[in-house]
Homo-oligomer: A and B are copies of this chain.
Amino acid sequence: MQPSWEKHYAERTQKVTGSIIRELLKLTQQPDIISFAGGLPAPEVFPLQKFQEACNTILGSQGPQSLQYSTTEGHPPFRKMIAEDTAREGIKIPPDLVQITSGSQQALDFVGRMLINRGDKIVVESPTYLGALQAWAVYGAQYLTVPMDEHGMRMDKLEEALKANPKFIYVLPNFQNPSGATLTLERRQELVELADKYGIPIVEDDPYSRLRFEGEHIPSVLALDARYRNQTEDNYNGNVIYMSTFSKLLAPGLRLAWVIAPKEIIQKLIFIKQAADLHTSTFNQMVAYEAARDGYLDKHIEIIRTTYHERRDVMLETMDEVFPTEVKYTRPEGGMFLWASLPEGMDTTEIFKKAVEQKVAFVPGTAFSPDGGEKNSMRINFSFCGPDDIREGITRLGTLLKELVYSK
């Protein structure tokens, strides 16, 4: 009998297909395109020399141990360093509440695996992070979207969604991907209280908080939840699963991220990770720790901040100059993305194709919506391209947008 895979697929696999967005984004890989579509860090800021030194140091000092199997939880000094860095938020996290994952995409997958039954409702911001939607599609998630404004998720709209008894609230409070918006302190406090009132967990995805160029750092939802429960000086046992990553602080090719959560959740994550991939690369954890420790990471993040700050400024200045005034865009205080909204009725998926012809690219807003919304918006990345390319690319995009807006 010729093999027929179709009938062997699990129910979840039958629904797994390529997205239109993924197909569109292949167009951005032509070499002469200035692409603001990707979410890539600037390769210029990768700490190559430090990393090379760290590789040699680790192979010398740890020897074969650095290439051997290791614990599912993660490399102990690495977890300890992460716990200590978290203490700056005014919350004392013991290292055993830190789980290392292979990138934060894996943390999103594990959260889905742990919490989502087919048909469960998840509260997300609109727009929200594409990778989370991809991770949770496997588990059959349904979504309740809460609109955002320039101050992040609108709390006056959240309570309505919580009454529908969702599994958890997914929030990206700092320089959100894709919108660039930051949730204010007041709203974070409100979020903590509302989640507590309805007994709904919060999944806080925080890749960018240390990439702030201006304004004051706002404590994480994790830290605020701990304060709300008076758990700042003890083991955290609250309502938040927090995740962050080294992809934007050191280098994404290492696939290193982490989760901080109550002991009970970490325990589950250990079993989940054991079954999923045993553990994250021993060598990469040791090398990243070696490179980051003793204050190097802080100094290195300064370089990233300065670089992205300049690029954001160049982008906003050029936009102010060349974009039609009918196009509104966010002015993020950090991170890697901003969000532009065109007049109602315009469709950025259509505009994307015209932009590619003009050799410039972005991601159409609808990629960030679980329900086909955000049609007239686009995500624009400012971390990857250098200042000259930003000026040139934004000018091309502005010219096209003017044409389209004024011909309407």
A275 touches B43 (CB 8 A): no
Q: Is A137 an interface residue (CB 8 A)?
A: yes
A250 CB contacts on chain B under 8 angstroms: 67
A16 touches B271 (CB 8 A): yes
In the complex, how many angstroms separate the beta carbon of A134 from the nearest chain B beta carbon? 5
Q: Is A265 an interface residue (CB 8 A)?
A: yes
Q: Is A407 an interface residue (CB 8 A)?
A: no
Q: Is A201 an interface residue (CB 8 A)?
A: yes
Cα distance A275–B103 in the bound complex, in angstroms: 11
Q: Would you give the 0/1 interface string for A280-314, flagging 1 where the beta carbon is closer than 8 Å to chain B?
A: 11111000000000000000000000000000000
Q: Is A340 an interface residue (CB 8 A)?
A: no
In the complex, how many angstroms separate the beta carbon of A99 from the nearest chain B beta carbon? 14
Cα distance A64–B247 in the bound complex, in angstroms: 13
B44 touches A113 (CB 8 A): no
In the complex, how many angstroms separate the beta carbon of A111 from the nearest chain B beta carbon? 10
Q: Is A149 an interface residue (CB 8 A)?
A: no
A232 CB contacts on chain B under 8 angstroms: none
Q: Is A276 an interface residue (CB 8 A)?
A: yes
A residues 373-393 touching B (CB-CB < 8 Å): none
Cα distance A56–B254 in the bound complex, in angstroms: 16
Q: How many residues of A contact B (CB 8 A)?
A: 84
A253 touches B283 (CB 8 A): yes
Cα distance A105–B275 in the bound complex, in angstroms: 7
B46 touches A103 (CB 8 A): no
Q: Is A176 an interface residue (CB 8 A)?
A: no
A67 touches B46 (CB 8 A): yes
In the complex, how many angstroms separate the beta carbon of A217 from the nearest chain B beta carbon? 26
Cα distance A89–B389 in the bound complex, in angstroms: 49
A268-B13, A277-B103, A284-B283 given; A115·B8 CB < 8 A: yes
Q: Is A5 an interface residue (CB 8 A)?
A: yes
**Which of these, B4, B109, B252, contacts A275 with CB under 8 Å?**
B109
A48-B63, A284-B283 given; A113·B198 CB < 8 A: no
B255 touches A117 (CB 8 A): no
